[in-house]
Amino acid sequence: MSKKRNRSRRRSREAPGPAGFLVVDKPSGMTSHDVVDAARRWLGTRRVGHLGTLDPQATGVLPLAVRDATKLISFITKDEKSYQGSVRLGIETDTLDAQGEVTARHEGELPDRDAFEAALEGFRGPIDQVPPMYSAVKKNGVPLHRLARRGEEVERDPKRVTIHRLELTAFEDGLAEVDVDCSVGTYVRVLASEIGDALGCGAHLEGLRRVRSGPFGIEQAVPFEQLEAEAEAGGIDKRVISPADAMELPVLELAEAGTRRVRHGGDISPGARLRIAPGDRVVAIDIDGELVGLLELRADRRLWPLRVFGAESN
């Protein structure tokens, strides 16, 4: 039996439902994969993927792509993420966060608010970060966290990231609250640890909440427990954000002939009413409102499919 036929049979057993994005307010203690598994159960489909992991102890925005929207993950702007973090001065841990074993305690007076605020200046803009040992980054094909749990520490290559904004919002008794806007790939716990090193007292990340991931903000995130209840009541589909809304793109409704052409990889005319420039993208739907494709206007003034959706494209 062909792989194509196997895929068709698996998808035929899926519960019908919308394709789009579900934004979960992840609770502490769950892995991102735990949330994906739960969403697959809620929505009746295996086709669920996340747009960037959160550490188990972290909370906040975890966007999930559902059904055909999984094909759009690479087209969603994910470069900037925003966090609210708590930095505990004077205590270092092996994981750089509150989940780890304490490795050092500072003896003596801790830096004050002014000293902490002054230290932040050195971490704004482009910086190099060395991935922590307790991370999913791989060394020779092996995740670093697996090596760390075996008591091994290996050399890691630094990675250039950008801290777009780093602001102190509260400071009391050696606990600093910070807001961080940063590029994808930034480890806020590494940032907390390095701030502690710069101050000479050590530090770890006591808490972390993601409030934005690309175009998805905390105002769109729904608590895990609420989504669980809505799924049981049969009302979770209303939480799925359409690709057009998520990507803030124009929507083009296609007639049957245009739908068929796009699903076979063909180009179409944008028509007179769609005012876009070469390089702009649109989301195409059929007359029933189902996703047909993500299209881009090329220099020849034709819309060409970047991703195609629907049974005929499998």
Q: Give residue for tokens 């049981």.
A: 232
pLDDT of 79 reads 72
pLDDT of 131 reads 80
In this predicted structure, which of 41-50, 251-260, 263-272, 303-312 has the lowest mean pLDDT?
303-312
Model confidence at 274, pLDDT cuts 50, 70, 90, reads confident
Q: What is the pLDDT of residues 109-131, one digit of tens each?
A: 999 999 999 999 999 999 999 88
| Same domain, residue pair 208 and 220 | no
| Same domain, residue pair 128 and 173 | yes
Is it the case that residue 1 has pLDDT exceeding 60? no
Q: What is the pLDDT of residues 173-190, one digit of tens each?
A: 999 999 999 998 899 999
Is it the case that residue 209 has pLDDT exceeding 60? yes
Q: What is the mean pLDDT of residues 154-167?
A: 90
User: What is the chain's Cα-based Rg?
Assistant: 23
pLDDT of 256 reads 93
DSSP secondary structure letter of residue 241: B
- Cα-based torsion angle of the residue sequence 23, 27, 33, 37 in order, rounded to the nearest 10 degrees: -70
Is it the case that residue 300 has pLDDT exceeding 90? yes
- Based on the structure, what is the number of domains in the chain? 3
Question: What is the Cα–Cα distance from 151 to 149, expressed in whole angstroms?
Answer: 5
Asked whether 49 and 64 are in contact (CB, 8 A), the reply is yes
**In this structure, what token pair is assigned to residue 254?**
């296609």
pLDDT of 314 reads 41
More confident residue, 202 or 138: 202
Residues 6+ positions from 235 with CB-CB distance below 8 Å:
none
Question: What is the Cα–Cα distance from 306 to 243, expressed in whole angstroms?
Answer: 14
Model confidence at 7, pLDDT cuts 50, 70, 90, reads low
| Same domain, residue pair 89 and 113 | yes
Q: What is the mean pLDDT of residues 95-110?
A: 94
| Same domain, residue pair 42 and 85 | no
Question: What is the Cα–Cα distance from 14 to 25, expressed in whole angstroms?
Answer: 25
| Same domain, residue pair 229 and 126 | no
| Same domain, residue pair 103 and 114 | yes
Asked whether 183 and 166 are in contact (CB, 8 A), the reply is no
Q: What is the mean pLDDT of residues 96-114?
A: 95
More confident residue, 10 or 300: 300
39: CATH: 3.30.2350.10
Q: What is the pLDDT of residues 216-247, one digit of tens each?
A: 999 999 999 999 999 999 999 999 999 989 98
Question: What is the Cα–Cα distance from 306 to 248, expressed in whole angstroms?
Answer: 16
Question: What is the Cα–Cα distance from 67 to 103, expressed in whole angstroms?
Answer: 44
Its domain, for residue 190, covers 80-213
Is it the case that residue 144 has pLDDT exceeding 70? no
In this predicted structure, which of 127-136, 240-249, 302-311 has the lowest mean pLDDT?
127-136
| Same domain, residue pair 91 and 203 | yes
Question: What is the Cα–Cα distance from 264 to 309, expressed in whole angstroms?
Answer: 10
In this predicted structure, which of 6-20, 88-102, 289-303 has the lowest mean pLDDT?
6-20
Mean pLDDT of the chain: 89
Is it the case that residue 204 has pLDDT exceeding 50? yes
Model confidence at 3, pLDDT cuts 50, 70, 90, reads low
Question: What is the Cα–Cα distance from 52 to 79, expressed in whole angstroms?
Answer: 11
| Same domain, residue pair 226 and 286 | no
The highest-confidence range among 86-90, 126-130, 287-291, by mean pLDDT, is 86-90
pLDDT of 296 reads 95
Q: Give residue for tokens 């205590």.
A: 91
Residue 6 within any structural domain of the chain: no
Residue 4 within any structural domain of the chain: no
More confident residue, 170 or 248: 170
304: CATH: 2.30.130.10
Instruction: Give the ranges where the chain is alpha helix by DSSP (H).
Output: 3-12, 32-43, 113-120, 144-149, 188-199, 224-232, 243-247, 256-263
| Same domain, residue pair 163 and 184 | yes
User: Looking at this protein, which amino acid is placed at residue 313?
Assistant: S
Model confidence at 2, pLDDT cuts 50, 70, 90, reads low
DSSP secondary structure letter of residue 48: E
Q: What is the mean pLDDT of residues 260-289?
A: 91
Residues 6+ positions from 158 with CB-CB distance below 8 Å:
128, 129, 130
Residues classed as catalytic:
55
| Same domain, residue pair 122 and 159 | yes
- Cα-flanking dihedrals φ and ψ of residue 35, to 5°? -65, -40
